[in-house]
Amino acid sequence: MAKSPGGVIEDVLPGSIGQEIGLEPGDVLVSINGHPLRDVIDYRYYGAEEELELVVQRDGELHRLEVERDYDEELGLEFTEPVFDGIRVCSNNCPFCFVQQMPKDMRRSLYVRDDDYRYSFLMGNFVTLTGLSSEDWARIAEQHLSPLYVSIHATDPEARRQVLGNPSAPDILPQLRRLGELGIEVHGQIVISPGVNDGEILRRSITDVAALWPTVRTLAVVPVGLTRFHRRQVRLVTPDEARAILDLVEQVMPPLRQQFGCTWFYPSDEMYLLAGRPVPPAAFYDTDAQRENGVGLVRLLLDDWQRARKHLERKRSSRSHRGGRVTLVCGQLIAPILADMAAELQAVAGIEAQVVPVVNRFFGESVTVSGLLTGADVLEALQGRDLGQRVFLPRSMFNAEGSLTLDDLTPEELAERLGAPISRVSTLSEIVQAMRAAGGKA
């Protein structure tokens, strides 16, 4: 790994200690109290003392600054990157690795195959633990980097090595036990590669990992995703296989729930939709730890609409409302559910929402989730349509800042090319609010 250069400051919060001592964007925070900074974790950990000696690089020169702070005072620095010494690149060769299924000529960040435990701690990224050094283990213990999100895939060592495409991958169970001994909590996932880690291998994995409670706080099972650029020996989960997995979940769930007092084992929404089965009620999703892994998002969508619909029904009897016509864009997987909700939206709010499921030409028609739609495919799907007053796009198809699609189109560019205003939304209640703000009374 390259020697740590420290962190490049992107912003200094107004009124913060950093502003008081004259730090500026572009400065490099090299160390705190003699500890070279490898990432924002070090910045937070070593910057928690009351007396600090900062080494800052500006215009090639090093400056030492003495700082005294109360424990509730922040230095107020934001950095251009969360890690300063380079991201840890994955050493596995998973047949379903999404990064390896990306087309050419996209932005560089989309081709980084990270397997960095620091991103797991900071952002909830799933990591395999296959590349941890003794220094990494020592740091996890010292700084108590908990929780971590771990791709378990299978507790059978050979099945796991096959899933990871890594014949030297270590047995995951001793690693999970070691994390437990360090007091580190884990949220795990199993990505199903049909014929490799499903069936009895999956049953064994569930049993083995459940024995590690409370170290492993949650476990999710997710179907593998493949794009049209896929060239490896793995295939998609079929509807029948999804139903078999959900049947297994129903078998093992009751004793686990009774033992742990929580659901613990969560199939992803995609598994239910693929199987053609309804997603569980809200009580099933007793934690949001796996939400970014596609667990419980459909239930949130349904329950949000149920609350909004009841509110609209109460108001409908007391005053009239003006609806309007809008276009609601989505991936193919969620489209049937959204179509039913759109019909109810028109009935109670007078908002006529045409649901347009977009075929994913960019990644391939097997990719049916809304979060992997590109701007180009949306533009093609909406070409020649009467879009109404506004187009609503899934917020998940944009980056975290909401500023770019996967193919680098901005919301402003999409609106200009569509000839209609657009809004990024996650729920139908946001559609109602947007229409109300635009002049309706729904």
CB atoms within 10 A of CB 134: 7
- Beta strand 51-58 with 28-32 is antiparallel
CA–CA distance from 147 to each of 121, 141, 179 (Å)?
Answer: 6, 12, 10
Average pLDDT value over all residues in the chain:
92
- Beta strand 390-394 with 422-425 is parallel
Cα angle value 58/60/66 (rounded, 5°): 45
Note the pTM of the prediction, 2 decimals.
Answer: 0.91
153 sits in the region (left: phi over 0; alpha: psi -120 to 50; else beta) called: left
DSSP string of 269-315? HHHHHHHT-PPPPGGG----TTGGGTSSHHHHHHHHHHHHHHHHHHH
Q: Please tell me the predicted confidence (pLDDT) of residue 179.
A: 98
Q: pLDDT band at residue 400, thresholds of 50, 70 and 90?
A: confident
Q: What is the pLDDT of residues 137-192, one digit of tens each?
A: 999 999 999 999 999 999 999 999 999 999 999 999 999 999 999 999 999 999 99
* Structural contact between residues 263 and 226, judged by C-beta atoms closer than 8 angstroms: no
Q: pLDDT band at residue 220, thresholds of 50, 70 and 90?
A: very high
* Structural contact between residues 379 and 418, judged by C-beta atoms closer than 8 angstroms: yes
Question: In the predicted model, is pLDDT for residue 39 greater than 90?
Answer: yes
Q: What is the pLDDT of residues 252-278, one digit of tens each?
A: 999 999 999 999 999 999 999 999 999
Domains of the chain (ranges; CATH) run 7-79 (2.30.42.10), 99-294 (3.80.30.10), 300-437 (3.40.50)
